[in-house]
Amino acid sequence: MSFLNYSTREINFKIVYYGPGLSGKTTNIKYIYEKIKSENKGKLVSLATETERTLFFDFFPLDLGQIKGYKVKFHLYTVPGQIYYSSSRKLILKGVDGLVFVADSQRERFEANIESLEDMLENLREYKLNFDEMPYVLQLNKRDLPNITPADELISVLRKKNEPVMEAIATSGEGVIDTLKQISRLVMIDVKRKLQ
């Protein structure tokens, strides 16, 4: 559950961008970071070893306002997608309030998407987080490339529970802010339900 800070009157949400290696998670986060006014964001911090490019930062979204007098603060994280960073991926999922799965639309990454999605679901199970209730958005990224799987084919395999599906080109920012808006919306609905 999201973290309420009584003294600063903030409510904190953790949003994690999940997906296979090189699907465009970091590109999403960096684009969002560039678009947010400096007074509304914290530092973009990279918890990186030489090859591990996990990123996170926090910010106050302008249009989400307040819930019951609490300022809403979002913390965006990406996981390292490469297979061998399994333990980091699991660690970053701890306490997650909302998930975006960034799929790579390229044909040669079809199986990698399925494996990464299974890995995500397994990690959620291990934390005893109920995926059915988790705010969740599926993003089909890299729609600009020539060798991609048609969207409806990807959806039929990757869509797990009627979640919003967003097509994106993270390198140009297409669909990136819309994806963030969708996950924000779902997280806010979820917290209002929990606070009732």
144 scored as a contact of ligand GTP (CB under 6 A): yes
Identify the residue among 165, 170, 187, 188 touching ligand GTP (CB under 6 A): 170
25 scored as a contact of ligand GTP (CB under 6 A): yes
**Positions 1 through 40 that interact with Mg ion (CB under 5 A):** 25-26
H/E stretch holding 53: strand 53-59
**Positions 66 through 105 that interact with ligand GTP (CB under 6 A):** 78, 80-82
Radius of gyration over every alpha carbon of the chain, rounded to an integer in angstroms: 16
Closest residue to Mg ion, judged by C-beta, is: 26
27 scored as a contact of ligand GTP (CB under 6 A): yes
- Residue number with CB closer to ligand GTP (8 or 49): 49
Contacts of 187-192 spanning 24+ positions with Cβ under 8 A: 187/2, 187/13, 187/15, 187/97, 187/98, 187/135, 188/64, 188/67, 188/72, 189/135, 190/97, 190/98, 190/133, 190/135, 191/2, 191/11, 191/13, 191/67, 191/97, 192/67
Catalog residues that contact Mg ion under the rule CB under 5 A: 25-26, 53
Catalog residues that contact ligand GTP under the rule CB under 6 A: 19, 21-27, 53, 78, 80-82, 141-142, 144-145, 169-171
